[in-house]
Amino acid sequence: MKHPGQAHNRRTPSDPGDNPRFEAFHDSKEDVMRALRTFPLGSSGGPDGITPKHIRDLLTGSTDDSLQQALVDFVNLMLAGTFDKEVNSIIFGGRLIIALSKKDGGIRPISVSYT
């Protein structure tokens, strides 16, 4: 099927303010922007290829704060734990890049996750 229909069990993300756990974990616009600035220049992108610089450039070039507010809302939804297990395994997972040998014979996995 070239264009499948919407999933029957699809749900709309809730407003972070509707979640009682939201108050315990809440980042402001300033918190999110400060976190973006902590990434070293030239940081690599994750599996989707989006780098912290891409996000900063998009935010810098925007004419209003709607993208910044959407990013803050997304971060706060993650912090509130409102995503399904399947979504969490993607967002908080990573792609194994290389496995390095440790001096004691163990393995140190190096993976890359989403920005």
80-103 pLDDT, tens digit per residue, is: 888 888 888 888 887 777 888 999
- Strand, coil or helix: what is 107? strand
Domain ranges (residues) in the chain? 20-112
Q: Is the pTM of this model over 0.85?
A: no
Residue given tokens 């229909």 in the structure block: 5
Residue 23 — pLDDT band, cuts 50, 70, 90?
low
Sort residue 105 into left (φ over 0), alpha (ψ -120 to 50) or beta.
left
**What is residue 17's predicted lDDT score, i.e. its pLDDT?**
53
Backbone φ and ψ for 20, nearest 5 degrees, come out as -65, -25
Share of residues in the chain with pLDDT > 70 (%) = 78
Q: What pLDDT, in 10s, does the model give residues 40-94?
A: 888 888 888 888 889 888 888 778 888 889 998 888 888 888 888 888 888 888 7
Q: Is the pLDDT of residue 6 over 70?
A: no
For the record, the structure tokens of 14 come out as: 């809730």
Helical (H) or strand (E) element with 112: strand 107-112
Q: Is the pLDDT of residue 4 over 80?
A: no
Contact 22, 76 (CB under 8 A): yes
